[in-house]
Amino acid sequence: MINLETPRKQRALIDQAHQLAMNMLRPISRKYDRAEHEYPKELDMLAALIDGVSETGATGGAGASGGRQGGAKAAEKKEPRDPDAVRNGANLASVLSIAEMCWGDTALLLSMPRQGLGNAAIAAVASEEQLARYEGTWAAMAITEPGTGSDSANITTTATKDGDEYVLNGEKIFVTSGQRADSVVVWATLDKSLGRAAIKSFLVRRDNPGMKVERLEHKLGIRASDTAVITFTDCRVPAEDLLGSPEVNTKAGFGGAMATFDNTRPLVAAMAVGCARASLDLTRDLLERAGITIDYDRPAQVQSAAAAKFLQLEADWEGAKLLMMQAAWMADNRKPNSLEASMAKAKAGRVGSDVTLSCVQLCGTLGYSETELLEKWSRDSKILDIFEGTQQIQQLIVARRVLGLSSAELK
């Protein structure tokens, strides 16, 4: 049975993440928002600390990578477990700790060394041999193209087999950590005529000939995180760096690639939950300083308009958090979570934008000025409703799952 209270064994990890967010990320948040594209050197020490905590094995995963290192399968190898037993494992630990870190700063979390979104793709589809070989790599993920948007099944970057190598050609945009990461997980098609089933993931290293970072984007939010445009021109990749099986199974369709999103969408939901929580906490303090009390023992309709709005925002936030935890818990317990991952991402993305913008409005001039971080959080949160599949794409996926319809039947 699922229990959506914070697991007792993970409270120490969550408390550590909160302390890191409060004492290390929050103080440098504004500095790196203004210094766009400048690497936050303070993160090197933080990454080393997270690595040390993870290596002890006491936490079940720390930071942004905990849910990407094999999750329940890895734990199962160490000790067989009762199939009816309930596990609170690396996925749940990761989303809870990520939410705390994003309470400090979302962009800095995305900039953390060795915590790239490409690591989720590696964990989702790589073979056991590849998992061991890529251990410790910092992998960005390159999916989006100029003409594809959220339709990742329409990828045009090609991968052509040539002896013991694949030759990649194409362009990728909005690659998070595209300049800083050690490697990039690139989605490309082996054969356009076979549709989405032929899309595979390749690990391309920084020194692979033919890969070039063309430019870094200037963005509305998450400005501390570098976002790159990368081109691949006759880029040669060893065949052993195709993640998972090279076989094209038209019956299996897009399943292998979509498993990546089942890993990453709860993580993005966690980012939105953490950013929104930061806005709510600060807004409550600012309202109380202005003499507006939030009374949890009285109905919202008999309180001030500001208090009633705040209570509504908190209720929405709580729903997003619970959906995020459900998706992660299902992954830990080896339950298919594609529907729940999309529900969590859709709810948290929308709620994150609504909460942060509403908090700006509730706090008036303090919310809109750079005196506080509220305006920054409203800018940062918007991307969390866009990347890893927009709000509209998530709703479409949920509708297909609920109605039992294919992508061809419901577009």
Q: Which residues are the active-site residues?
A: 388
Q: Is the dihedral of CA 107, 42, 138, 326 positive or negative?
A: negative
What CA–CA distance (Å, rounded) separates 223 from 36?
5
Burial of 390 (0-12, 13-18, 19+ CB in 10 A): middle
CB neighbourhood size of 110 (10 A): 23
- Give Cβ neighbours of residue 25 (< 8 Å, ≥ 6 apart): 46, 101, 104, 105, 108, 109
Q: Which two tokens stand for residue 246?
A: 């090279």
Closest C-alpha to 281, from 221, 368, 356:
356
Cα–Cα separations (whole angstroms), residue 94 to 23, 327, 332: 20, 12, 11
- Bridge partners of residue 215, in order along the sequence: 229
What CA–CA distance (Å, rounded) separates 94 from 98?
6
Closest C-alpha to 227, from 155, 174, 182:
174
> Do 345 and 337 meet the contact criterion of CB atoms below 8 Å apart?
no
141's enclosing H/E stretch is strand 139-142
- Bridge partners of residue 183, in order along the sequence: 139, 205
Conformation bin of residue 64: beta by default, left when phi > 0, alpha when psi is -120 to 50? alpha
